[in-house]
């Protein structure tokens, strides 16, 4: 898999969103986290944090790399490497999505008679790894189905859902209380 313009753009976006190299590698597919890190450095967008730079590594690992056994050492193929990488169970955004059942009553005003009447705009169909602090974390579909995704519309600051899904959440909560 090569670094097409599209893949580079996605890399830049995800890196700017704060995803780790391995998360980005899983997202892109066909590349290792080392490949992602290497590309990030070549693109010179490594800093990201602007936070304290800790301490610069003393340079010069000067690793005694294998002198010449390369040709005779098959080692892992790309597919093996990808398959052996454990899928991250969550990220900061995903964790938010998993515990998003708080104080729903305060999220939105009661506008609709039932959740079925709420109209939610077209979602951006984001994957878990594409979520960030400002994306709607409303899950759509069967988590075990390949088409599972998240709404991904703008959720504003400090709220887990976009406006439409906040109202859906509210109304579902109301419906649940009624039927109880």
Under the binding rule (CB under 7 A), the answer on residue 37 touching DNA is yes
Query: With respect to DNA, which residue has the nearer C-beta, 8 or 116?
Result: 8
Shortest reach from residue 65's CB to DNA, in Å: 6
Binding characters for DNA, 74-113, by CB under 7 A (x = yes): -xx-x--x---xx-x-------------------------
Under the binding rule (CB under 7 A), the answer on residue 44 touching DNA is no
Closest of 99, 134, 135, 138 to residue 118, by C-alpha = 138
Query: With respect to DNA, which residue has the nearer C-beta, 73 or 119?
Result: 73
Cα separation, 73 vs 13, whole angstroms: 36
Helix pair angle (21-28, 5-16), 10° resolution: 140
**Burial of 139 (C-beta count, 10 Å sphere; 0-12/13-18/19+):** middle
Percentage helix, strand, coil for the chain under 3-state DSSP, each rounded to 5: 40, 5, 55
Where along the sequence are the contacts to DNA (CB under 7 A)? 1-3, 20-23, 31-35, 37-42, 46, 54-66, 68, 70-71, 73, 75-76, 78, 81, 85-86, 88
């Amino acid at each position: 898999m090569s670094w097409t313009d599209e893949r580079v753009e996605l890399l830049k976006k995800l890196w700017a969103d704060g995803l780790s190299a391995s998360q980005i590698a899983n997202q892109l597919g066909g590349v290792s986290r080392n490949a992602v890190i290497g590309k990030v450095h070549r693109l010179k967008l490594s800093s990201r944090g602007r936070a304290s730079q800790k301490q610069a590594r003393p340079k010069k690992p000067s690793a005694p790399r294998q002198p010449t056994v390369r040709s005779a050492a098959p080692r892992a193929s790309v597919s093996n490497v990808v398959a052996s990488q454990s899928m991250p169970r969550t990220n900061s955004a995903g964790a938010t999505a998993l515990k998003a059942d708080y104080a729903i009553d305060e999220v939105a005003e009661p506008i609709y008679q039932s959740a079925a009447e709420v109209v939610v705009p077209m979602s951006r169909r984001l994957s878990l790894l594409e979520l960030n602090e400002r994306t709607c974390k409303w899950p759509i579909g069967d988590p075990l189905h390949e088409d599972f995704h998240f709404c991904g519309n703008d959720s504003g600051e400090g709220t887990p859902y976009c406006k439409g899904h906040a109202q859906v959440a509210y109304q579902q909560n109301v419906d649940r209380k009624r039927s109880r």
